[in-house]
C-alpha cells in the first residue's frame, strides 16, 4: 500500500472488523461502564454485579478480547486472594463518543418505532 488514503477495501474490512468486535451483547456496556468509572478502580466481581445479567464466563471472555484490542488494561494486584483491576485505555476512551452517537440514534429510533405501534 503506497498511499495513505482510505480505499474501498480498507473501508470494507474496517466495517467487518467493527462488527466482529462490537457485535456481542456486552462489550459496549463494558466499555461504557469502565468509561464512567474511570476515576476509581474497578474489579472483576464488582463489574459482574453492576452489569446486570452477565455471567463470569462472558465477562472474562469479553475482557480478554477487549484487552487484546487495547481497549482496556488488566492489572493484577498481589493481594490475598488476588484481585484484578480493569481500566479503560486512552484508545478505549476514543470509542465513547462513537457509542454515544449510536445510542443517541437508537433512542430516537426507539421512540419512532414505539410511536408507530401505539400499544
* Contact status: 34 vs DNA (CB under 7 A): no
Measuring CA to CA, how many Å separate 41 from each of 13, 72, 77, 110?
A: 35, 13, 11, 34
Nearer to a second copy, 19 or 118 (CB): 19
- Give the phi and the psi of residue 2 in degrees, each rounded to 5: -105, 0
Shortest distance in whole angstroms from residue 78 CB to a second copy = 27
Q: Which residues inside 88-117 make contact with DNA, applying CB under 7 A?
A: none
Q: Which residues inside 8-67 make contact with a second copy, applying CB under 8 A?
A: 10-11, 13-19, 21, 23-25, 28-29
* Contact status: 82 vs a second copy (CB under 8 A): no
Comparing CA positions, the residue from 47, 52, 79 lying closest to residue 63 is 47
CA distance linking residue 11 with residue 79, whole number of Å: 45
Q: Do the beta carbons of residue 92 and residue 34 sit within 8 Å?
A: yes
Name the grid cell of 36.
464512567
Of 34, 47, 86, 95, the residue at the interface with a second copy (CB under 8 A) is: 95
Interface positions with a second copy (CB under 8 A): 6, 10-11, 13-19, 21, 23-25, 28-29, 69-70, 91, 94-95, 97-98, 101-103, 105-110, 112-113, 116
Amino acid at each position: 500500500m503506497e498511499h495513505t488514503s482510505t480505499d474501498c477495501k480498507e473501508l470494507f474490512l474496517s466495517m467487518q472488523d467493527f462488527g466482529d468486535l462490537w457485535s456481542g451483547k456486552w462489550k459496549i456496556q463494558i466499555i461504557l461502564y469502565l468509561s464512567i468509572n474511570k476515576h476509581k478502580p474497578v474489579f472483576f466481581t464488582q463489574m459482574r454485579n453492576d452489569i446486570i445479567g452477565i455471567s463470569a464466563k462472558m465477562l472474562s471472555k469479553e475482557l480478554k478480547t477487549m484487552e487484546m484490542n487495547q481497549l482496556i488494561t488488566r492489572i493484577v494486584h498481589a493481594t490475598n486472594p488476588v484481585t484484578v483491576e480493569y481500566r479503560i485505555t486512552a484508545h478505549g476512551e476514543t470509542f465513547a463518543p462513537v457509542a454515544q452517537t449510536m445510542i443517541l440514534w437508537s433512542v430516537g429510533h426507539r421512540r419512532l418505532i414505539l410511536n408507530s405501534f401505539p400499544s
